Structure 1
Amino acid sequence: MTDQHIPTTGSEPEADRTVVVERLVSAPREVVFEAFTSVDHLSAWWGPDGFTTSTREFEFREGGEWIFTMHGPDGTDYAEWIRWREIVTPERIVLLHGEYAGDPNAFDSVFTFDEVGAQTRITLSTVFPTKQLRDTAVEEYHAIEGGAQTLGHLATYVEA
């Protein structure tokens, strides 16, 4: 199966399928970007409150994959798969994220890193294939809160 961008019905505007979370981090953007480049870094901060990760495969390059399991605070395991689609150091990372390669519900995420004086504004914009998948992620999986918590963990990690 291919991991091409999932087509939509055409009747749902991108804004209705998108979640955006941002955070101002007290660290230079090169340092914030670097926190994505190795599994050791990512394992230290990735995920919402109470979650940890176990990595099976990791290759940070365009076309590379990160295959891992997120372990929830209640003991639930979540299979995760990321393909790094575009990496522009230290400005932008584009990825496709699903449960597995070829997941029809996979979504596109873009991390942008903008200098704001000595700080970095990191913006995470996630576009789901459908509005229903976006709404499910927000309502059932608390995607906005989880995204904010994840960026908070990133900030704590790079500010230390």
Structure 2
Amino acid sequence: MTMGKNEIIASRVFDVPRELLFQAWTTPELLARWWGPHGFTNTFHECDVRPGGTWRFTMHGPDGVDYPNHCVFVEIVPHERVALDHLSGHEFRVTATFDDLEGRTKVTFRQNFKITEEFEQAKAYCVEGNEQNLDRLGKVLAEMAY
């Protein structure tokens, strides 16, 4: 995990081809299974995975609190990159890139906040939350690979 100006960057190498990783990021049924930190579940209301497409969902926290989310997909490059803007609450752009490592794939998860004050507030829980997100993604990828 590293940080840039208003940005949290996490990366992980998975023992799957990048096509599988891209599929996990762009298939609503799969995305709903791993998006968010440990203990969270999701209800997707809309997930139109294309540039300009809307993604509305509710994250259900382990404490019973619901977190409504509104995102818009900005860029979808098959097997290479997914970018989306998170527009509810803290505004940030998530960019995920998928680098082929001869059958394995490195995903780099960049979360760039629009406002410095919001970045300063969110980084305390987003750093760990993003790592947990990648943990959950790994479990879904393992199931997909077998």
Is this a same-fold pair by TM over 0.5?
Answer: yes
Per-residue deviation, 1:62: 0.8
| Between structures 1 and 2, the one with greater strand share | 2
For the 8 Å contact 1:26–1:155, the answer to whether it is kept is: no
Gaps of at least 5 residues in structure 1 are 1-13
Larger radius of gyration: 1
1:156 counterpart (116, 135, 139) = 139
- Give me the TM-score of the superposition, normalised by structure 1: 0.84
Q: Secondary structure at the match of 1:35?
A: helix
Post-superposition Cα deviations, 1:44-98, rounded to whole Å, max 9, x if no partner, equal 1111000000011111111101100000000010010110100000100111013
Q: Once the two structures are superposed, what CA deviation does each residue of 1:79-118 show, in whole Å capped at 9, x if it has no partner?
A: 101101000001001110132xxx6x41111100001122
**Aligned residue among 28, 36, 41 for 2:25:** 36
Using the alignment, how far apart are the partners of 2:82 and 2:28 within structure 1?
Answer: 15
Contact 2:91 2:115 in 1 (8 A): no
RMSD: 1.4
More helix by share: 2
Residue 53 of structure 1 pairs with residue 53 of structure 2 = no
Choose which of 92, 103, 114 in structure 2 pairs with 1:107: 92
Q: Which amino acid aligns with 2:132?
A: Q
2:69 maps to amino acid: E
Identical positions, percent: 35
Q: Which runs of 4+ in 1 moved over 3 A?
A: none
Q: How many residues align?
A: 141
